[in-house]
Structure 1
Amino acid sequence: MKYKTGEETKMKIIDSAFQLLAEKGYDAMSIDDIMKGAGKTKGSFYVHFKNKEDLLYEVIQMRLDRDLDHIVEETFKELSNETCNVQLILKQLMHQVHLGSGGVDRELWTAAHYQMVVLSRKNQIVREWMSKQYHAWSDFITKIITRGQDLGQIRTDIDILVMVNMLISLLEGYELRSIVDPDIDVYEQLKLTELFCTNQP
C-alpha cells in the first residue's frame, strides 16, 4: 500500500509539472507551484526527484513521448498485408499523433511541446531528445512511404525525404498554429496525403 501511495504521489507531481510546463514554461514554474498543483508538501518532492530538471526528464518520458513503439508495431502489421491501403494508414497515423500520447489532451500536449521547443535552445538534453524524436519519426514514415511505392500506391516522382519532411512539418505546424488559432481544423491536413498517391486524377 505504501508503494502504491508513493507511485500515486509521483504521478500527481508529474501531472502537475506537465500542466504547468504547458501553461507557464519550464523556467517560470517553481517546485512550490508544482507541489501546490499536486496537492502535496514540498518535502515529498525530494522523495521522488533530485531537482526540477530531474522531474522534467520524467515528464518527457511519461507525458511527452508519444507511444511510438506501439504505433510502429501496429502500423507494420497493417503494412504487411498485400492489400493494405497506404494512404489510409498515413491518415490513421496522423490522426493518432494528434490524439497525443497516453490519453493526454491534445491542446495541453501541444502547448507543452511548444515549451520544449523553446527550452531546447539552451538545454542540450532536451535538444538531443527532440532530435532523436524527429529522426525516429522520419525513419518510420520513410518505411511507410517506401512500402507504398513498392505497392504502386505512392508517387515516385517526389523525393521520399521531401514527402517525409512535409508530413512531419504539417503535423507540427498545424499543432503549433492551433495554440493561437483554436478554430483551425487540424485534421484537414489528412486530405493532403492524397497529393502523394498515384490514384489521384
Structure 2
Amino acid sequence: MAKTTKGEQSKIKLIECAAGLFLKKGYNATGINDILAGTGLPKGSFYFHFTSKKDLAISVSQYFEKRFEGWMLRNSKDKKWNEFITALIGEMIEGAEEGKHYGCPFAVLGLEIAFSDADLSECYYNSMKKLIKLFASIFEYSGVPKDEKYVLANRAFAIYEGYLVYYRLGKEVDTLRMMLKDLIKVYDDFCTMQK
C-alpha cells in the first residue's frame, strides 16, 4: 500500500471528522471550527484541501459511499439475501448496542439538505441508488428473476431506510431487530408467491 503524505493524512482526518460530526450533529449544526477542533488542524489546512464546507460534504458523501460499499460487499460475498441481511443488520445491532450506530448517513444527511442544496442532495441520492443496485444484485444472486429484482430491492430499501430513521429517532435497538425480520420477510414472501 502506498504511503500517504502528511497533506493526504490531514485531508483524510478532515473528512473522517466531518463524517462523524455530520452524522451525529447534522450538516447545518456542524461548523468548520467544530471540524478543526476535532482534528486539531489549523484553518489553513482546511482551506488548502476544500474550498467550502459544501466541498467537504461532497467528499464526505464519497467517503460514506466507499465505506458502505465495502461493508456491504464484504457482507454479501457468496451470500443469498437472508444470510446477507442477517450479517449486515447484525453488525448494525452490535454498533447500536455499543452506542456507535447513528442510522444511514445518506438518509440522515440527505433529508437535512434535500431542499436547501440541490448539488449535495444529488450526491447523497446517487449513493442511495447505488445501495439499491447492490440490493438488486444480491436478490438476483438469491434467485430473483432479473425483471423483478429492482422491485424487490426498492421495497427492501424502503423498509431498510424507514427503520433506520425510526431507530435514529428512538435509539431503540429492538427497532433494528424488527427491521431484520421485515427484510427477511420481503424475500421469504417473494419465494412463497413463486411456488
The TM-score normalised by the length of structure 1 is 0.70
> CA offset at residue 128 of structure 1?
1.9
**TM-fit CA distance, 1:114:** 1.0
Measure the CA separation in 2 of the matches of 1:177 and 1:86: 23
User: Does the Cα contact within 8 Å between 1:170 and 1:189 map onto a contact in 2?
Assistant: yes
1:177-196 counterparts in 2 under 5 A? 177-185=166-174, 186-192=176-182, 193-196=184-187
Cα offset, 1:112, TM superposition:
7.3
Counterpart mapping for 1:1-201 below 5 A: 4-63=5-64, 65-68=66-69, 71-72=72-73, 75=76, 77-78=77-78, 85-95=80-90, 105-107=100-102, 110=104, 113-149=107-143, 160-185=149-174, 186-192=176-182, 193-197=184-188, 198=191
* Structure 1 residue 95: Cα displacement: 4.3
Q: What is the aligned-residue identity percentage?
A: 23
Q: How far did 1:168 drift?
A: 0.7
Deviations 1:120-159 (A, max 9, x none): 2222222222332232222332233234346xxxxx8xx6
Q: Which has the higher helix share?
A: 2
Is the Cα contact below 8 Å between 1:111 and 1:179 reproduced in 2?
A: no
State whether residues 93 and 173 of structure 2, in contact with CA within 8 Å, keep that contact through their aligned partners in structure 1. no
Secondary structure of the 1:14 match is helix
User: Deviations 1:52-73 (Å, cap 9, x if unpaired)?
Assistant: 2221112112235443267447
State the secondary structure of the residue aligned to 1:114. helix
TM-score normalised per structure 2: 0.71
3-state SS, counterpart of residue 78 of structure 2: helix
5+ residue gaps, structure 2: none
Q: Distance in 1 between matches of 2:165 and 2:48?
A: 35
CA contact (8 A) 1:14 1:58 kept: yes
Please, which runs of 5 or more residues in structure 1 have no aligned partner?
80-84, 151-155
Residues 119/148 of structure 1: CA separation in 2 closer, same or farther (3 Å cut): same
For the residue of structure 1 that corresponds to 2:86, the secondary structure is helix
1:62 counterpart letter in structure 2: Y
Distance 1:133 1:44, change over 3 A: closer
Task: Tell me if the contact between 2:61 and 2:106 (Cα under 8 Å) persists in the aligned partners.
Answer: no
C-alpha separation in 2, matches of 1:32 and 1:54: 15
Q: What's 1:82 paired with?
A: none
Distance in 2 of aligned mates of 1:99 and 1:47: 37
The one-letter code of the counterpart of 1:18 is A
Deviation at residue 188 of structure 1 after TM alignment: 3.0
| Alpha-carbon spacing, 1:189–1:43, altered in 2? closer, same or farther (3 Å) | same
Cα deviation code 1:167-186 (max 9, x no counterpart): 11221112111222112421
Q: Which runs of 4+ in 1 moved over 4 A?
A: 93-100, 159-162
For the pair shown, the structure with the greater C-alpha radius of gyration is 1
Separation of aligned partners in 2, 1:19 and 1:74: 22
Q: Does the Cα contact within 8 Å between 1:22 and 1:112 map onto a contact in 2?
A: no
Q: How many residues align?
A: 181
Q: Give the distance between the partners of 1:98 and 1:113, measured in 2 at CA.
A: 18
- 1:32 and 1:74 mapped to 2: Cα distance? 36
Q: Answer yes or no: is the 8 Å Cα contact 1:10–1:48 preserved in 2.
A: yes
